[in-house]
A and B are shown apart, each in its own frame.
Chain A
């Protein structure tokens, strides 16, 4: 009789498990239904985006100055993929839950956990299948990008790849959340309720609480939607990517804890606590990572290249004290146009918000309200401007360096395009859905390669 060690997890190949997980997801109706719903959603968003972009381009073709602001990232990619984001938020949990919920409901999980795989391997294979499902679900959005190219539109490779990467991270977040929901719930429907409560809840949180000061602002940062924002702005934020990776890792670790049947919930809760603490610590560490890259073609998140180079050479820390309330729109302008760019360009920048003094009537009685103080070395200056055109000369004066000469021809010229996306509607409302239905039928057709085993001895 063989030793039990013979059947340890090291002996088992991974590919049958991965193939089974992928089959489990593609066999379900949820993925194909989502794909079919995505066609009109993405198609109409794309059609509208191209129409609006064309209208703006008509004026821009007569005035090159207007063309500067015409970037396909804002005009086409973000709105088109925005509908994909909505579908991932609302529909993708149903697709991902199937990867685990089906096995729980049919009892197959009790067979699966006996196979020679670690629970973490089982869950990782499910996440890989969820990623595969997300890739399939992104086909309508990807086809919109191809159509845009066919129409003559411009696609900047790096910023587009960054945006798609952001959507993939968001999809993995939703997928990991769905897997965790399926692991703690007894049925797929309960798991769907849990997952949707979180995704829709964080969506609501994002647009009701965002922009508010203090604790509410911090709570808004917890929204899943926040993950996508820097990517839509053309930023590759190291902290945000690491943070999302930590959350995905945490959800997968918790799913692994909650996967095995038979362990009492209290025991699973006890085992979950260390993981929650570890992930909280990892998130804290990820929040400290300030590394961010501006991957946009128009460099909208950066100062002009010559300024970037010069600012990077300034060795001393820059202290900025802002006398503005966080909810003041001027603060948002300053943050976007100056402070965020400075933080990325200079080695050390510290920004402090000075609390404005309150008058008897409840309004601000601080005469300094609206001022922004810049301290570099032992020199300081004050400005009320939120424009880099005024702030950069001020900083160069503080640092004692002369203004860099602008490089001619380095300005973004924009990509105006007047095109009609009418033909695209035929693709999104006819061709692509038909193709999806055909693929669905092909996958659901009676399998025929069972003949391989028919020659066995009987």
Chain B
């Protein structure tokens, strides 16, 4: 089993470290000793085929699922599951929250909970392109706009680390590029993103570092160049590396 390498050349302790995280579903090991870290302002992509354990990893990491073993450290200190929601915010896949509310009501709810100013709310709405559907009820939103709404909710959360499950699902190429820009802008301000992505092209486009997950185990990690070295494919695409390592 391979563990994701810590970013090389870092002097400071990375804000988030995950060590040997393991989760069992009955007899099946859903995630198996996953170790990785994430630095401030970094976009880390967890890529893997369906059933690789990406969602379980994220949900275990934020404490929505109980881990069977492993530690999560925050600035070098153990971060208990009950306190992870103070540092990490997780955006699940396939959620259509508060279907009968208008879009702006859902946005307002999250903004009010986190005491966001009107300017911050307006910025967030503009950045994810939600303005045209604010009056619409959530159940009437298209898949893409629902995804934008979820993205807005995550961006309104003030947490330093955002975890997102399939954040580009439902977006076309142009929209994906827009969202990538939004995430990169946020990362440039020091926010860390951990994204579970199954579209390799999207992952390659947005992520600083990649963690290849298969059958719950880390099969490779690092930048694209580091992964090429690990896979002995000097000119290989992420797809080639993925197939070679998983």
- Seen from chain A, the residues whose Cβ lies within 8 Å of a Cβ on chain B are 1-2, 4-8, 11-13, 15-17, 19-20, 23-24, 27-28, 102-103, 106-108, 110-111, 113-116, 260-264, 267, 446-450, 452-458
User: Could you tell me if B66 and A264 are in contact, using CB atoms closer than 8 angstroms?
Assistant: yes
Partner of B101, one of A15, A16, A23, A111: A23
Q: Do B94 and A455 have beta carbons less than 8 Å apart?
A: no
Q: 1/0 per residue B137-180: CB within 8 Å of A?
A: 10000000000000001000111100000000000000000000
Q: What is the bound-complex CA distance between A400 and B64, given in angstroms?
A: 73
Central interface residue in B91, B107, B125, by most chain A CB within 10 Å: B125
Query: Is A108's CB under 8 angstroms from B66's CB?
Result: no
How far is it, in angstroms, between the C-alpha of A17 and the C-alpha of B109 when the chains are bound?
Answer: 7
Stretch binding the partner chain, chosen from B1-9, B79-87, B203-211, B238-246: B79-87
Query: Would A12 and B113 count as touching, CB distance under 8 A?
Result: yes
B200 close to chain A: CB less than 8 A: no
Q: Is the CB of B104 within 8 A of A450?
A: yes
Q: Which residue of A lies closest to B111 (CB)?
A: A16
- Please, which residues of chain A bring their CB within 8 A of the CB of B62? 114
Q: Is the CB of B190 within 8 A of A106?
A: no
Cα(A7)–Cα(B159), bound, Å = 8
With known contacts A6-B86, A13-B112, A108–B122 Cβ distance under 8 A: no
8 Å CB interface, B9-47 against A: 15, 40
Could you say which of B94, B108, B122, B136 contacts A107, with CB atoms under 8 Å apart?
B94
Task: State A1–B159 Cα separation when bound (angstroms).
Answer: 9
Please, how many angstroms separate the alpha-carbon atoms of A446 and B119 in the complex? 24
In the assembled complex, which residues on chain B have CB atoms less than 8 Å from the CB atom of A6? 86, 158
Q: Say whether, besides A4-B74, A111-B95, A453-B125, A447 and B90 are in contact (CB < 8 Å).
A: no
Closest beta carbon of chain A to B6's beta carbon, Å: 17
Chain A residues whose C-beta falls within 8 Å of the C-beta of B84 in the assembled complex: 4
A458 to B66, Cβ gap below 8 A?
A: no
A7 to B162: give the CA distance in the assembly, Å.
14
- Which of chain B's residues have a CB closer than 8 A to the CB of A111? 91-92, 95, 97, 153
Residues in B with CB closer than 8 Å to A107 are 92, 94-97
Of the listed residues B84, B86, B153, the one surrounded by the most CB atoms of chain A closer than 10 A to its CB is B86
**In the assembly, what is the distance between CA of A446 and CA of B63, in Å?**
37
Interface: B126 (CB within 8 A): yes
Please name the 8 residue pairs, one residue from A and one from B, whose CB atoms are nearest each other, closest first: A456-B122, A4-B87, A4-B86, A16-B112, A450-B134, A27-B100, A108-B97, A107-B95
**Distance A78 CA – B246 CA, assembled complex (angstroms):** 72
CB–CB B115/A11 < 8 A: yes
User: In whole Å, how far is A447's beta carbon from the nearest beta carbon of chain B?
Assistant: 4
